[in-house]
């Protein structure tokens, strides 16, 4: 699975940069080239009744939650925090899986029922959260940086850059976005994909689908020496090496477990 993991990381990096560029680029160039990466974000696609939403659900039924490990910018942002943590996770699966499952289902029911009733809890929707972080926190800084660059270039006789208007976002948006960013990143450093597997309603739906996915991570007990390396590499705490099982509802299809297994005991198969 090492090659699959590398492909995943390359694709995830591309999606994160492309979606972020669409939010931050004020020239419209990024939207022209990479606008499609925004159109295949699950909730916007579902609300637009786009075929992309169906494609994502079918992909989840086939391969598990690859959307969460490749396409969703909020998930990839957490992966960066997890990578920078530079420590393995403790042994053992989540101590309270049932409590977590009840919490996830309750949040998902409130989120989707609210949507039908016209109450849009957009601070729970991953793409909206990421968009607010990008536009509320990073976009004004990018514009300020551009203006400084334009002034500097002009002093040196170049007019390659243009000064653009910097619109200060509402203070409450900045505070809420910053607080949520810190919270999600802190949770990622502490417990990996905790936000994804406890709070995110989109993750809960995809988790239910991936429970019956065609391909899934599997432990070959005949080859496994129970070294626990996969368990400690799993950012979703999905692996219980004691029982040799993997919780497919929380697995985000990152392929890290297979990449660390030196015995070839972890496969992605039917
Ligand atoms: S669970 Fe939600 S936030 Fe996490 S990667 Fe999936 S869609 Fe994104
Ligand atoms: S890393 Fe491989 S050998 Fe070690 S516990 Fe996991 S599946 Fe078994
Ligand atoms: S079991 Fe864990 S490490 Fe393996 S693919 Fe799933 S989330 Fe990644």
pLDDT one-digit tens code per residue, 109-145: 999 998 888 888 889 999 999 999 999 999 999 999 9
Rounded-to-integer distance, Cα 162 and Cα 160, Å? 7
What pLDDT digit, counting tens, does each position of 184-196 carry? 999 999 999 999 9
Band the pLDDT of 269: cuts 50, 70, 90.
confident
Which residues constitute the domain of residue 241?
A: 2-132+169-269
In the predicted model, is pLDDT for residue 15 greater than 80?
yes
Percentage of the chain modeled with pLDDT above 90: 80
Rounded-to-integer distance, Cα 46 and Cα 40, Å? 9
β-bridge mates for residue 239, sequence order: 246
Percentage of the chain modeled with pLDDT above 70: 98
Name the domain count of the chain: 1
In the predicted model, is pLDDT for residue 86 greater than 80?
no
> E strands of 112-261, at which residues?
216-219, 239-240, 245-246
Rounded-to-integer distance, Cα 141 and Cα 139, Å? 5
24 Cα to the center of ligand 3, angstroms: 31
Question: Is 76 domain-assigned?
Answer: yes
Question: Is 98 domain-assigned?
Answer: yes
222 Cα to the center of ligand 3, angstroms: 20
In the predicted model, is pLDDT for residue 93 greater than 70?
no
Question: Is 143 domain-assigned?
Answer: no
What pLDDT digit, counting tens, does each position of 27-60 carry? 999 999 999 999 999 999 999 999 999 999 999 9
- Pair 110, 121: CB distance under 8 Å: yes
Which atom of ligand 1 is nearest the CA belonging to 204?
1
Question: Is 238 domain-assigned?
Answer: yes
Rounded-to-integer distance, Cα 177 and Cα 126, Å? 12
**Count of alpha carbons within 13 Å of 70, Cβ hemisphere only?**
19
* pLDDT on residue 30: 95
Question: Is 158 domain-assigned?
Answer: no
Question: Is 144 domain-assigned?
Answer: no
Question: Is 157 domain-assigned?
Answer: no
Question: Is 251 domain-assigned?
Answer: yes
Cα 83-131-172 angle, rounded to 5 deg: 105
Which atom of ligand 2 is nearest the CA belonging to 226?
5
Say yes or no: CB of residue 229 within 6 Å of ligand 2: yes
């Amino acid at each position: 699975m090492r090659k699959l993991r590398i492909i995943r990381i390359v694709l995830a990096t591309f999606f994160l940069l492309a979606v972020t560029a669409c939010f931050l680029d004020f020239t419209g160039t990024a939207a022209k080239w990479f606008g499609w990466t925004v159109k295949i974000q699950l909730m916007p696609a579902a609300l637009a009744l786009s075929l992309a939403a169906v494609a994502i659900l079918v992909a989840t039924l086939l391969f598990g939650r690859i959307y969460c490990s490749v396409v969703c910018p909020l998930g990839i942002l957490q992966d960066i925090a997890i990578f920078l943590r530079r420590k393995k996770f403790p042994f053992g699966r989540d101590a309270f899986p049932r409590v977590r499952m009840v919490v996830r289902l309750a949040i998902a029911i409130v989120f989707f029922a609210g949507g039908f009733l016209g109450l849009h809890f957009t601070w729970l929707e991953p793409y909206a959260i990421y968009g607010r972080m990008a536009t509320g926190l990073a976009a004004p800084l990018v514009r300020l940086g551009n203006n400084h660059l334009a002034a500097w270039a002009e002093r040196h006789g170049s007019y390659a850059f243009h000064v653009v208007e910097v619109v200060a976002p509402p203070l409450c948006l900045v505070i809420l976005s910053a607080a949520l960013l810190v919270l999600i990143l802190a949770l990622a450093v502490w417990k990996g994909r905790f936000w994804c597997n406890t709070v995110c309603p989109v993750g809960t739906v995809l988790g239910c689908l991936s429970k019956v996915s065609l391909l899934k991570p599997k432990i070959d007990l005949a080859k496994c020496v129970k070294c626990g390396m996969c368990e400690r590499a799993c950012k979703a705490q999905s692996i219980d090496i004691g029982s040799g099982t993997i919780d497919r509802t929380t697995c985000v299809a990152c392929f890290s477990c297979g990449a660390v297994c030196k015995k070839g005991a972890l496969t992605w198969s039917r």
